[in-house]
Structure 1
């Protein structure tokens, strides 16, 4: 019983999770508050589900909602127990809660799929509208037939009066129905518009006006295509619309609209081709659903998937380095430790000194490798803290850090191009600049003073390019990709010191920010490293004006 209790509630053999966080107050608070808020949010969702089930007492699949609510409750419990383990090592209970959550999660997932065909079989709005139109048509027919039968039994005057009354009532009903349809059309929360077959806007509802930012009078009579983004306009021009004209229906076409203020948002557009019997013209009813948030969430998921893949690749790199690059200095340390021990035992002082020097060199190299591994890991996996980064200030900071090396080498640094402000992680971008400048200084050509040109350029497509050009020893362009691989060197350590991790860190920083880094070399003439940034990743500095 004692072992089970210790297993469930922890013992002195276990340490609370807070030890892993070194009892850092900020980290403890961040984890604890996050778990508590997530748990409270989880616990409130089942309350809403229970309220929904009570309101829908005859809901056929209410048990599935109940199972889903139970699943959410256990998800919340996992965060509560996770918060507790920060201070108390109840890892057994945490495991039991997670196992129970896994069982409930699997049961919920298993229960959802059998009812999926019934959910898919639910009628679409278009089908409901067609049924409603048929019913209205039948009602009109019945009303007309009843009026004719009544008129047949009455005298001519009675028939005329009855007919007149019927017409008045019919007109009132039609007017009321049209008013209701128009009111429903205007107040529908989804963007709706009516156009002719050429796309000219005949009417728009309130949601369209609110979403686009235009007054209704401003858009009527204009083509709907004028409100599309450039890419969507090109897509619309290339598309063959004959299928839509033949079938009369279009579903979930992805397009982007442009608001009055110039901002864009993504939608899925459906359309129905209607015949206006009275006017003898055909109209198109367009329904647009804003999908911006959903698409942004999908892109974030894709980004996280790429980050996880990159992290896995980094782990593979670390495993390879640990089994190869780190083995060499460690083998030397072990070998010459034995030599030192033997020299001490036999009084050979020269052997002891030599072995001590080799051991120290191996330890320094191993420490450098471990330090560079940590730097590479931080660049590839540490969370980005976005900020506004004035490029001239970041460059000044990098020059200050490298000032001693710049003075000793006699290097000249030239800065050209417009002043810009980048959007990214300030520390990581500073490390990127330092590594690129340090690389240019390291590989200076013998007998030639280094000249390094830092240049910013903006191409016609508004992409920003930052280039670091030097007049050093250069390299063959066949190695342009290889130099960005971790611990890859084109020269021996005796020629140029280092572990070969600097440019790999630069590539990791650029990949985390969505930038592109490339290199070109000219043997014995120099090399150029370029970083390309999309137009949404920077702004022109006020100094540029």
Structure 2
């Protein structure tokens, strides 16, 4: 075995250098040497480019194809370097074995590439991807809720038209900034905690979380929103879809209703007349203080008993029978 390796790497006395076939003419030697050098340089640069591409594009489906082509092209470049070497040194066994390995790699590549062609043809074209992206973008922008897409640091990478309208910022002023800047201090801390919770639980199938926050518009106005945070787990990293719905008017209506109910309660309790409200079954939903004073029944007991059970037997009979 060692004899074979020695013969493989050493000059053979049985052969003459390839340069003799060129009659050692300088012009033809330079032609072949320069050509093979340029070809080898190009062949060696292509695998480097493919390797860099595969390294940067971690989402590639057929990574092995690029690596296989890179290895095959690298071997092709080596055969051209050996063509230069054998001009002066007749290591034809070494050159032959490198060619044999190159042939094997070439055949493997050729055999594997044909079954892959239908799958490659089924991949969407750039035009189809652009059309699909435009379609999804139209849906994204037509959504009535404000949507912001951020990374795990909170940096905004995508916003829809409604978000720009709600917050008062143009598109370019939102992209690249952090979503934390849109919250006043209390809400900013709460949102940071919520995002940290989602990051800590990103490995499980976490349901979207909805909470109420205050956000600041570009003009300094503070509005209340219902914020829904969803995790987007991709090969490129963790992203968040933050959906905002303005609930300022809902909160104002809710507060107005509470204030109205409180005014009614005060007015009813101040009335000398007994006032109560029941449903169709006679269950109380409101009892004023005059009613409680007259009957002597505690509020909790009255609400539990209902109107029929709260009245004494004679009144119950006359009222309901």
Q: What TM-score comes out, normalization by structure 2 length?
A: 0.42
For the pair shown, the structure with the greater C-alpha radius of gyration is 2
